[in-house]
Amino acid sequence: MEKTKVSLRSRLFFSHVIVMIVGLLTLLAIGKISSPRFFILRLRQIEVGGLTVQQRRTQLIRSFDDAWSKGAFWSVAIGATTAGGLSYLIAQRIVQPLIQMEEITKKFAAGNLQERVPANDIPEVDQLATSFNRMAATLEGVEQRRRELVGDLTHELRTPLTVLKGYLEGLADGTIDPTSDIYERLARETTRMQRLVNDLQELSKMEAGYLPIDARPLELQPLLASIVNRFADQLTENSPTMLLDCPADLPRALADPERVEQIVVNLISNALRYTAQGSVVVKTYPEVDKVWIAVIDTGQGIAETDLPHVFERFWRADRSRDRHSGGTGVGLAICRRLVELHGGTIEAESQLNRGSTFRFSLPIARETLSEKLGERLGEKLTLRRLGEAKAGASLKQTSLDKLESTD
């Protein structure tokens, strides 16, 4: 059989009633026992100068006891009624915000995400209301982003699907000739949709925490040089110049090489896409306990009002321009999440018609004592082997010289 649960209002009310009853019983017990005794002592004190109240003592005590009992009865009745009423009002005042919160929670669960719990004079209840409102705001933001994601995804897929449908219908009814150029366009739109789906899947894994990061000490100069050379080999004479500014004594970063390459490739691709002429520079520099990697271009730049939105999914200052260039609109969102998974930050600075700077930080790898000792022992062993090799070669040459002189 299920145990009946007592509501908070009833618990508060009964707790006040119990405290009141204990207080009243204590008052009655002490008054009933001690009052007659104190009254008798008082009567003895006034029996002076031959005045005696012995004949009337019993009657006086009985009268006093009756009067005290009547007074105590009415005191208990009035006090209990007043205390009970006050206890109910206090319990009602404490429980009312919780009842209101329950009603708001039901509305919230029904989909009305704008509902909020008002502030309360009771600190604990007010703190609970603040926590609920914070949770409600977070859930509302998540729902808003979900709706925006569905809307943006629908918008992004509609264009390539419309292109594919138009070409396929034209090929089917014979209004479009099946040329290699047509098939290339179809393949390009299909590739765009595939890339969009892959990017969204990867971003979802990052946000859900399912994408592992294999962070280890990483030399940035060889990795960045390889990336810059790869892009430089694909540029034409009219393209911007690719440059690398990386000091030789740059400390090693604690990062996943594949993910760092993914971030840098994405940033360079964006820079080249919007830089018609000038240069794109990949610059690195240390700062306290982190290493900064910056991609600086001399392109068309981004408006100041648009900068706070550049790392949002599917955001574009000019949708048609980016769609024409082949971007999916989630590359910078992926970069931001990858940098955050490394424990770094990513920033953007830009001025219209002057260029943009995208930079991100990675933590510096702290070498352990064993690693340093291993490197030093390795260097000493290498020098020792070189010395032994030189000594052996010298000895061999001396022996040959002796043989030749003997001959």
Output the DSSP codes for 322-389: HHHHT--S-HHHHHHHHHHHTT--EEEEEETTTEEEEEEEEEBP---HHHHHHHHHHHHHHHHHHHHH
- Kindly state whether residue 382 falls inside one of the protein's structural domains: no
On whether both 103 and 39 belong to a single domain, the answer is yes
Q: What angle do CA 316, 322, 326 make, to 5 degrees?
A: 135
State the burial class of residue 297 (Cβ atoms within 10 Å of its Cβ: 0-12, 13-18, 19+).
buried
By the 8 A CB rule, do 253 and 218 touch?
yes
On whether both 248 and 330 belong to a single domain, the answer is yes
Q: Does 205 score more than 60 pLDDT?
A: yes
On whether both 198 and 236 belong to a single domain, the answer is no
List for the chain the helix, strand, coil content (%; round to 5): 65, 10, 25
Which pLDDT value is given to residue 41? 64
On whether both 102 and 19 belong to a single domain, the answer is yes
Q: Does 400 score more than 70 pLDDT?
A: no
- Kindly state whether residue 2 falls inside one of the protein's structural domains: no
Per-residue pLDDT, averaged over 379-387, amounts to 57
Nearest Cα neighbor of 297 from 358, 250, 343, 245 is 358
By the 8 A CB rule, do 204 and 198 touch?
no
Nearest Cα neighbor of 138 from 119, 120, 113 is 113
How large a percentage of the chain has pLDDT more than 70? 67
Which pLDDT value is given to residue 34? 63
Q: Does 362 score more than 90 pLDDT?
A: yes
Per-residue pLDDT, averaged over 271-290, amounts to 90
Which pLDDT value is given to residue 217? 93
pLDDT (tens digit per residue) in 248-262 = 899 999 999 988 998
Q: Which residue has the tokens 């309360």?
A: 120
> How large is the angle between the packed helices 54-109 and 123-173, nearest 10 degrees?
10
On whether both 189 and 239 belong to a single domain, the answer is no
Q: What angle do CA 73, 77, 80 make, to 5 degrees?
A: 130
**Secondary structure class of 310 (helix, strand, coil):** coil
Containing structural domain, residue 321:
216-363
On whether both 13 and 105 belong to a single domain, the answer is yes
pLDDT (tens digit per residue) in 154-166 = 766 777 788 788 8
- Kindly state whether residue 250 falls inside one of the protein's structural domains: yes
Per-residue pLDDT, averaged over 230-248, amounts to 87
On whether both 194 and 220 belong to a single domain, the answer is no
CA dist., res. 302 & res. 349, Å (int): 8
On whether both 254 and 190 belong to a single domain, the answer is no
On whether both 162 and 231 belong to a single domain, the answer is no
- CATH code for the domain in which residue 300 is found: 3.30.565.10
By the 8 A CB rule, do 283 and 355 touch?
no
Q: Does 369 score more than 50 pLDDT?
A: no
On whether both 220 and 272 belong to a single domain, the answer is yes
On whether both 156 and 281 belong to a single domain, the answer is no
Show the tokens assigned to 294: 């910056």
Output the DSSP codes for 150-216: HHHHHHHHHHHHHHHHHHHHHHHHTSS---HHHHHHHHHHHHHHHHHHHHHHHHHHHHHT-S----E
Amino acid identity for residue 229 in this structure? N
- Kindly state whether residue 171 falls inside one of the protein's structural domains: yes
Q: Does 218 score more than 70 pLDDT?
A: yes
End residue of a domain, out of 165, 182, 208: 208
Check residues 270 and 156 and name the one with the higher pLDDT: 270
The total number of structural domains that make up the chain: 3
- CATH code for the domain in which residue 167 is found: 1.10.287.130
Q: Does 236 score more than 50 pLDDT?
A: yes
